[in-house]
Amino acid sequence: MKVAFPLIGQRHQTLHALPIALEVSARHPDVAVHVSCLTVSHLELARSLATLYPEARVQFDLLPISPKLRRRIELHGLRVVDRLIGLFASRHYFRTFDAIIVPEATSLQLRHMAVRRPKMIWTGHGAGDRAIGFARHLGKFDFLLVPGRKVEQRMLEKGIIRPGAYHRGTYAKFDLVRRMDAKRPKLFNNNRPTILYNPHFLRRLSSWPEMGHQILQFFATQDRYNLVFAPHFRLFDNHREEGEALRRQYGHLSHMLIDPGSHRSIDMTYTMGADLYLGDVSSQVAEFMIRPRPCLFLNAHHVKWHGNPDYQFWTLGPVTENVSDLGSKIENAFETHPRFLEAQRQYVLETFETLGDEPTAPAAADAIVDFLKRAA
């Protein structure tokens, strides 16, 4: 049996699929596992993370796109059209596999590129509440991995998953993070509480366009808190100069860390190292709450969110529609956290069925291989 784990999306998705690839390789030596990427730097990231699994034997492949496109992606970030070109250019490569296992849904387009034999399997990437995580096109996958009961229930209600064609209880990113934890340095050389500001990338959902610069200015001119500004990886991926300008503007301040998209922005360095989460709708808040701590949510677009399951996590901390008097609002979030503590714990268990202390990728690897053997 031969399976492919193409990593054609942004790098934050890598941590959700790669541990499963490595566990398939380690636990099922009769399965040939290939991990493939569009760029050299993405392949190097995957190779580097794979060293945390010395027992795995994976082949790393560079997908056959043109050198010109490869350079463009390296310099200016990844667009949807780049992924589609990459899939089309690699269609002959993908036809040679029994299964294609991915953390995104663009790869479903391979079905329209005459790649019909391999089973399509979805690992997912994230465990947020927004409806996009429950889109109907996910039902086109042959087998899916879901993190916990919350996602399972919504997918069953929408007819996306069916018994025998999914496995519940996987959040492989936690496995990788656990193996990395021993190497994490302290974020700041002081004892101030650290705030993580993590806005989403979509303008219609993000607090960044309306509030972002005001938030950065507030933290620049106060001396009570540290700030890590680590937005969703995609906010600046296609606007890298904007991110670098912010780093230059605030980089001289020892209590502020501006990270527009390094590896540390995707590997939970900041979600594990911060004392309070400040953000809008990114699913990283679910990862933050694996260790329950205060949250302050930003309703920049004045959404009527009460009772909307897409905003369930906004019930786990105070919500504000403006950032005037932000210092008092942060202080209030710390003071009122005991009120939200039990709800956060229950949310984590419903979302992940784990507190991150036990690996989930081994069972996912076994479930995938079992499905493929049954389907053969």
What mean pLDDT do residues 165-179 have? 92
Structural domain spans, the chain: 2-171+360-375, 188-352
Evaluate if residue 133 carries a pLDDT over 70: no
What mean pLDDT do residues 166-176 have? 93
What mean pLDDT do residues 294-312 have? 94
- 153, HSE (Cβ side, Cα atoms, 13 Å): 8
What mean pLDDT do residues 162-177 have? 92
Provide the mean pLDDT of the chain: 92
pLDDT at 123: 96
- The pLDDT-based confidence of 299 (bands split at 50, 70, 90) is very high
Contact 37, 132 (CB under 8 A): no
Report CA-CA distances (Å) from 186 to 19, 225, 289.
25, 15, 19
pLDDT at 340: 97
For 311-323, b where at least 16 C-beta lie within 10 A, e where not — what string? Answer: bbbbbbbbbbeeb
- The pLDDT-based confidence of 358 (bands split at 50, 70, 90) is confident
What mean pLDDT do residues 198-217 have? 93
Report CA-CA distances (Å) from 110 to 119, 140, 169, 204, 267.
11, 12, 27, 30, 29
3-state class (DSSP) for residue 186: coil
User: If you count DSSP H runs as helices and E runs as strands, how many of each does the chain have, helices first?
Assistant: 14, 13
Contact 20, 101 (CB under 8 A): yes
Contact 223, 210 (CB under 8 A): no
Q: In whole angstroms, give the CA distance from residue 251 to residue 235.
A: 19
pLDDT, one tens digit per residue, over 185-205 is 889 999 999 999 999 988 888
Angle at 220 between CA 219 and CA 224, to 5 degrees: 50
Which listed CATH number (1.10.150.120, 2.60.40.10, 1.20.59.10, 3.40.50.2000) goes with 2-171+360-375?
Answer: 3.40.50.2000
With a pLDDT cut of 90, the percent of the chain lying above it is 76
Q: In whole angstroms, give the CA distance from residue 43 to residue 47.
A: 6
- The pLDDT-based confidence of 132 (bands split at 50, 70, 90) is low
pLDDT at 357: 77
Residue 15: φ, ψ to 5°: -70, -15
- The pLDDT-based confidence of 99 (bands split at 50, 70, 90) is very high
Q: Report the range of poorest mean pLDDT among 170-184, 226-240, 274-288.
A: 170-184
pLDDT at 160: 92
| Domain at 188-352: CATH code | 3.40.50.12580
With a pLDDT cut of 70, the percent of the chain lying above it is 97
pLDDT at 356: 66
Contact 60, 46 (CB under 8 A): yes
pLDDT, one tens digit per residue, over 39-54 is 999 999 999 999 999 9
pLDDT at 362: 97
What mean pLDDT do residues 142-158 have? 91
Which long-range contacts link 136-145 to residues 24+ away (Cβ below 8 Å)? Answer: 136/160, 137/105, 137/108, 138/105, 140/108, 140/111, 141/108, 142/371, 142/375, 143/119, 143/167, 143/367, 143/368, 143/371, 145/20, 145/121, 145/170, 145/364, 145/367, 145/368
pLDDT at 236: 84
pLDDT, one tens digit per residue, over 4-23 is 999 999 888 999 999 999 99
pLDDT at 125: 87
Q: In whole angstroms, give the CA distance from residue 220 to residue 183.
A: 29
pLDDT at 134: 66
What mean pLDDT do residues 121-127 have? 89
pLDDT at 265: 87
Q: What is the dihedral of CA 11, 17, 20, 25, to 10 degrees?
A: -70
pLDDT at 88: 97
3-state class (DSSP) for residue 13: helix
**Global pTM?**
0.85
pLDDT at 179: 87
